[in-house]
Amino acid sequence: MGQKVINGRAFRRFSAVTVIAVYLLILIGGIVRTTGSGMGCPDWPKCFGSWVPPTDVSQLPSDYKEVYAQERAEKNKRFVSYLTAFGFDELADQILNDPDILTEEEFNATKTLTEYINRLVGAVIGLLIFGTFIMSIRYWRTDRTITVLSFIAFVLVGFQGWIGSIVVSTNLLHWMITIHMLLALLIVCLLIYVYYRSKREVLNLNLEGTGKLRAVLLICFITTLPQIVMGTQVRESIDLLADHFARSEWISKLGMEFLVHRSYSILLLGLHLYLVWLLTMKKDTPQKLKLYGAIMLLIVGIEVLSGVVMAYFGVPAAIQPIHLLLGTLIIGVQYYVLLLLGNRRVQTS
């Protein structure tokens, strides 16, 4: 029995490290987006046809733009065939008829290195999630849901890698980047659930009478998801404006999606303030839940503050990936607390 507890603790630690690593990748992905390094490697999974990226344009053939544009065109044709098979004819036509999709950028060693690091970290995280699955096999007889979900997370990472290759081949097509982001959130939530499920037998929480708390938190969770989607849409609009206007003009040129995104953040802040108030006023609320509530409110507050900084200071490049990371952290903390509030198998550790 003692060995089983030790192994369970090791699994929880490993799965927690994996979750943290995924968030690190989200941060790096934000840096890639902010620095415009997404096309630093025009092919996938290699970078300019090599596992070690070039450091100077002299290492590339003179017609490298045409070569990689053609490679991406072939991959896009295959992707378009999948879209057509599933009835997404309009999206397929958009990809085939958009000349900008095959536009190749000039080689930039810094951007290439940035994207290459992003891919390396992604590969490490793939190994971590595979390790989580391997370690989860020990739960097959006692709680096979942990093993099944760990395997699904691993499969989704492979699918995420394929989606990443499509993002590259379509020259950072905006709606593909949104799908890439939402899939990352799904993987995070799966891993958080695996961590929680492996830990719930040793939780020691008094969770009676938490129906209202769960309802309010669920509302917070559901309303945060569209805010993240709107945030990606605002970022897409900025990408389009960046080529034609000075940074100081970006905010004034943004449309309704920015106004909604900005106003919506006030609603989210109010909801989280109300949630923390409920946690505080409920006398028998465990200190751990109060702590999670305070952390959640702090992250939301910093997220709103970072949005204000971007709105009034010309969208500083250093703030953008932090803003993205904080948004995804909110989802993670919300989801974990929802799981805790739903826990009914309470034992003393």
pLDDT for position 204: 57
pLDDT for position 344: 54
Task: Judge whether residue 20 has pLDDT over 90.
Answer: yes
Confidence of residue 349 (pLDDT cuts 50, 70, 90): very low
pLDDT for position 317: 87
Task: Judge whether residue 221 has pLDDT over 50.
Answer: yes
Residue 116 sits in the same domain as residue 41: yes
For the chain, the domain total comes to 2
Domain residues for the domain of 89 are 1-202
Task: Judge whether residue 25 has pLDDT over 90.
Answer: yes
End-to-end CA distance of the chain: 14
Residue 141 sits in the same domain as residue 93: yes
pLDDT for position 236: 82
CB neighbour class for 24 (10 Å; exposed up to 12, middle 13-18, buried from 19): middle
Question: What is this structure's pTM?
Answer: 0.88
Residue 44 sits in the same domain as residue 133: yes
Task: Judge whether residue 178 has pLDDT over 80.
Answer: yes
Task: Judge whether residue 54 has pLDDT over 90.
Answer: yes
Residue 221 sits in the same domain as residue 187: no
Residue 259 sits in the same domain as residue 146: no
Residue 21 sits in the same domain as residue 135: yes
Residue that finishes a domain, picked among 178, 202, 226: 202
- Across 38-52, 99-113, 122-136, the highest mean pLDDT is recorded for 122-136
Mean pLDDT value across residues 85-90: 88
Residue 69 sits in the same domain as residue 101: yes
Rounded mean pLDDT of the chain? Answer: 87
Residue 213 sits in the same domain as residue 302: yes
The CB-based long-range contact list for 55-59 (8 Å cut-off, 24+ gap) reads: 55/109, 55/112, 55/113, 56/109, 57/107
Residue that finishes a domain, picked among 174, 202, 230: 202
Question: Which residues lie closer than 8 Å to 130 by C-beta, 6 or more apart?
Answer: 154
Specify the CATH number for the domain of residue 333. 1.20.120
Residue 16 sits in the same domain as residue 31: yes
Mean pLDDT value across residues 201-225: 79
Residue 179 sits in the same domain as residue 276: no
pLDDT for position 76: 87
CB 75 within 8 A of CB 165: yes
pLDDT for position 102: 79
Alpha helices in the chain (DSSP H): 2-34, 64-85, 89-97, 109-136, 144-169, 174-199, 211-242, 250-253, 256-281, 287-312, 320-341
Residue 91 sits in the same domain as residue 193: yes
Task: Judge whether residue 115 has pLDDT over 90.
Answer: yes
Residue that finishes a domain, picked among 173, 202, 231: 202
Share of the chain above pLDDT 90, in %: 50
Residue 61 sits in the same domain as residue 78: yes
pLDDT for position 346: 37
Mean pLDDT value across residues 242-263: 86
pLDDT for position 342: 77
